[in-house]
Amino acid sequence: MGFAGAERADVHVARSFGRTVCWQRRRRFQRARQWRIPRALLSNWFSRALLSQSPRHRRLRSGALAFWYLKLRYQLLPFLYTTLEEAHRNGTPLFRPLMLNYQDDPNTYNLDDEFMVGDDLLAAPIVKPDVTQRLVYLPKGVWYDYWTNEKYSGGTMVRVDAPLETVPMFVRGGAIIPTAPAMNYVGEKPFDPIIFAIYPDERGSAATALYEDDGLSPAYEDGAFRRTSVSVRRTTNGYVMKVSAPAGSYNPGARKFTFVIKPVASLSAVTMMDDGTARSFIIRYTKRTL
């Protein structure tokens, strides 16, 4: 649909499961839900009017997994909103076949079971209820498993585990994914803190530009937006992080920024500078993540 000028599109997964055995119905519900979590539109259309569409009316495990993925979707809202603004501004679709981002890689031309969310997130959903592993093609470059932070070299197929509670997702090396605390609906509470998950490329660099506005009015057309550029680069002494002064007049109010570098092999010291002045801050270092 992106090639036809639709910057946003969704998949229609409505169907009657008929005489399908119970475990297959539950697994199909989960796999269909996973497929749609990072997409722009999200609704439950299953079995026509035969069943309630609320996750709380599903079996215990099915409902818990559905709520867990809904929570993930709300955590990804800053990333999705930033990517949607890019789609609105330049027409690049939010969800893309890999060949759109990697036009010089013939291995992406016939892939029909993977897709990119913007430039940075690769999703490889499971489309059959009884499958718990699959091959995923990763284009050239560095990639990180979204769930485990395991680092991969691209340009090849990798086999990944995909139990029922997991949909394979990978982050492009060089990306910074902005996320927020989970919430029950958009606008329930401010995005505070905004968490920048940093995935360095081969050179140890990464960058993003977080976009924000009021989410309600066309005031952004008159400059009432905020675009905050964040970049990281590796030096001989460690990592240097830069947060540029935001562009635009929109003021979301005071909030915290949290930066997470994935993965970090070791640490000797961490210093935060503000215009040449050292500032106090809090760090946590667990499981090779800063």
Quick: pLDDT tens for 148-174.
999 999 999 999 998 887 889 999 999
User: Cα–Cα distance between 160 and 148 in angstroms, integer?
Assistant: 11
Percent of the chain with pLDDT over 90: 51
Please give the DSSP secondary-structure letter assigned to residue 222.
Answer: G
- pLDDT for the residue numbered 94: 87
What CATH number corresponds to the domain at position 264?
Answer: 2.60.40.1180
Half-sphere exposure in the Cβ direction for 95 (13 Å, CA): 19
Task: Give dist(CA 204, CA 74) in Å, integer.
Answer: 29
Considering Cα of 69, then 8, then 178, then 220, what sign does the dihedral take?
A: negative
- Give the end of a domain, one of 48, 75, 102: 75
Instruction: Classify the phi-psi angles of 78: left when phi > 0, otherwise alpha if psi is within -120 to 50, otherwise beta.
Output: alpha
143 contact partners, CB below 8 Å, separation of at least 6: 122, 151, 152, 153, 154, 170, 171, 172, 173
Does 121 reside within a domain? no
pLDDT tens track for 198-227: 999 999 999 999 999 999 999 999 999 999
- For residue 19, what are the contacts with CB-CB under 8 A and spacing of at least 6? none
Q: Of 54, 75, 96, which one is at a domain's C-terminal end?
A: 75
In a domain, 205, yes or no: yes
Show pLDDT as tens, one digit a residue, over the chain (290 residues). Answer: 566 656 555 555 544 444 444 444 555 555 565 555 555 445 554 454 555 555 555 554 556 766 777 888 899 999 999 999 999 998 888 889 999 999 999 999 999 999 999 999 999 988 777 888 999 999 999 999 999 999 999 999 999 998 887 889 999 999 999 999 999 888 899 999 999 999 999 999 999 999 999 999 999 999 999 999 999 998 887 788 899 999 999 999 999 999 998 876 655 556 666 656 666 666 665 655 65
Q: Determine, yes or no, domain membership for 80.
A: no
**What is the pLDDT, as a whole number, of residue 121?**
96
Specify the pLDDT at position 102.
97
pLDDT of residue 23: 43
Decide if 88 is inside a domain: no
Asked if residue 263 has a cis previous peptide bond (ω within 30° of 0), the answer is yes
Residue 136 lies in a domain: no
User: Does a structural domain hold residue 248?
Assistant: yes
Tell me whether residue 112 is in a domain: no
Domain interval for residue 46:
14-75
* pLDDT score recorded for residue 241: 87
Please give the single-letter amino acid code of residue 36. Answer: R
Number of domains in the chain: 2
Which of 46, 75, 104 is the last residue before a domain boundary?
A: 75
Domain assignment present for 113: no
